[in-house]
């Protein structure tokens, strides 16, 4: 009886320890698995159908992110959302093969609605990693993707018009004049900018709080990771970027190691949030490397987020982490984060909630 009670106690302790570290997908090495930022359930289902049918991890990621682009998830993925200052929608996307470490990406891409497919074409048919702007569009069209097409929608045009009526507030400019207008903008006097900037307190005071224009429905990304039946890992990211961004802006979406990262030997990570801040820290590269050194997914995710928050306490963002055995977890700052998972023992996609 004493031995039985001891075994029960040990089992309870092990279960509690596992829950503290993250959520495990069945038995170790039980594939396939799909993980995505946010409750983008249809996108995860599309990736699951592909991977369950024997597709590679890369192709399943493309299927999942393509579904989100077509559905215009939250208005922040694919065409028809997040107008820039000129009212135009542009796309950023990335795909990474964790088996070969190949990456394909496009940024500030105009006139082509299939961002993630364009990224895969870059990976498959060039020796480059990233193509940008109209040249990325021309490449994608030359490789068979439909275009040119207007990526704006009636909703995005209406949103942009209301923003213009509000004197282009909020926006991403700083240290400029005039402040309360739509421009054209000019730098403040250099001498004025230079005064009193020697102390770290003044330097941090000069960093404008971005929370007023960073949020779920104006600055979001689908970032997806897939482990296929062979245990190979891939990640993909697609976004139309920050709403009212300065034309030409590229965020973290097409940057390997920032929005997502994968390595078959370790696992994967996906990120979402204020890409302009997050890309300075390469949080997904940090997560994967922390797991490589033995850190569990939950602790690796929390560590990456804390590194950013120490420097930018007002930043908004989140990451999910999954190791090569299917153990997954998330961490966030500035908002409540949700991520979606589908694995063999689940009847359908399940959504996990992470609190700051």
Pairing of strands 130-132, 102-109: parallel
Order of strands across the sheet with 328-333? 260-263, 267-273, 317-323, 328-333
Contact residues for 135 (Cβ-Cβ < 8 A; gap 6+): none
Choose, from 90, 221, 237, 239, the residue flagged as catalytic: 221
Q: Decide if 129 contacts 122 (C-beta within 8 A).
A: yes
- Count other C-beta atoms under 10 Å from residue 191's C-beta: 7
Find out whether 250 is annotated in a ligand binding site: yes
115 annotated as a binding-site residue: no
Cα maximum dimension of the chain = 81
How far is it, in rounded angstroms, from Cα 319 to Cα 37?
8
Task: Say if residues 244 and 171 touch (Cβ distance below 8 Å).
Answer: yes
Question: Nearest-CA neighbor of 105 among 144, 125, 131?
Answer: 131
State how beta strands 317-323 and 176-177 pair: unpaired
Residue 336 designated active-site: no
263 marked as part of a ligand binding site: no
**Is 275 part of any known ligand binding site?**
yes
Contacts of 29 (CB under 8 A, 6+ apart): 231, 325, 326
Q: How far is CA 245 from CA 3, 84, 140, 253, 275, in A?
A: 64, 5, 23, 14, 12
Q: Name the pairing type of β-strands 260-263 and 233-239.
A: unpaired
Annotated binding residue 257: no
| Closest CA relative to residue 227, chosen from 68, 338, 115, 341 | 341
Q: Which residues are catalytic?
A: 221
Residue list, annotated binding site for substrate: 249-252, 272-275
Residue list, annotated binding site: 249-252, 272-275
């Amino acid at each position: 009886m004493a031995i039985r009670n001891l075994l029960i106690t040990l089992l309870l302790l092990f279960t509690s320890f596992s829950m503290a570290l993250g959520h495990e997908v069945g038995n170790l090495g039980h594939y396939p698995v799909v993980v995505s930022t946010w409750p983008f359930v249809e996108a995860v289902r599309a990736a699951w159908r592909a991977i369950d049918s024997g597709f590679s991890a890369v192709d399943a990621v493309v299927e999942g992110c393509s579904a989100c682009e077509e559905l215009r998830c939250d208005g922040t993925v694919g065409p028809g959302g997040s107008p820039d200052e000129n009212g135009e929608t542009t796309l950023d996307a990335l795909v990474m093969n964790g088996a070969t470490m190949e990456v394909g990406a496009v940024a500030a891409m105009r006139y082509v609605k299939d961002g993630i497919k364009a990224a895969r074409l870059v990976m498959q048919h060039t020796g480059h990693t990233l193509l940008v702007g109209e040249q990325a569009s021309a490449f994608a069209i030359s490789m068979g993707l439909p275009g040119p097409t207007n990526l704006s929608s009636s909703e995005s045009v209406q949103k942009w018009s209301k923003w213009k009526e509000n004197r282009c507030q909020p926006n991403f400019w700083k240290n400029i004049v005039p402040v309360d207008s739509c421009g054209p903008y000019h730098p403040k006097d250099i001498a004025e900018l230079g005064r009193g900037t020697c102390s770290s307190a003044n330097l941090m005071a000069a960093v404008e709080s971005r929370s007023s224009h960073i949020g779920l429905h104006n600055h979001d990304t689908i970032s997806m990771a897939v482990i296929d039946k062979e245990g190979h890992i891939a990640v993909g990211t697609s976004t139309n970027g920050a709403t009212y961004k300065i034309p030409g802006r590229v965020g973290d979406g097409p940057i390997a190691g920032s929005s997502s990262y994968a390595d078959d030997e370790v696992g994967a990570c996906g990120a979402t949030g204020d890409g302009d801040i997050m890309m300075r820290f390469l949080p997904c590269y940090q997560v994967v490397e922390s797991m490589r050194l033995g850190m569990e997914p939950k602790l690796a995710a929390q560590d990456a987020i804390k590194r950013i928050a120490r420097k930018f306490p007002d930043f908004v963002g989140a990451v999910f982490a999954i190791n090569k055995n299917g153990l997954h977890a998330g961490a966030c700052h500035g908002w409540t984060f949700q991520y979606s998972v589908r694995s063999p023992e689940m009847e359908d996609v399940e959504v996990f909630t992470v609190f700051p």
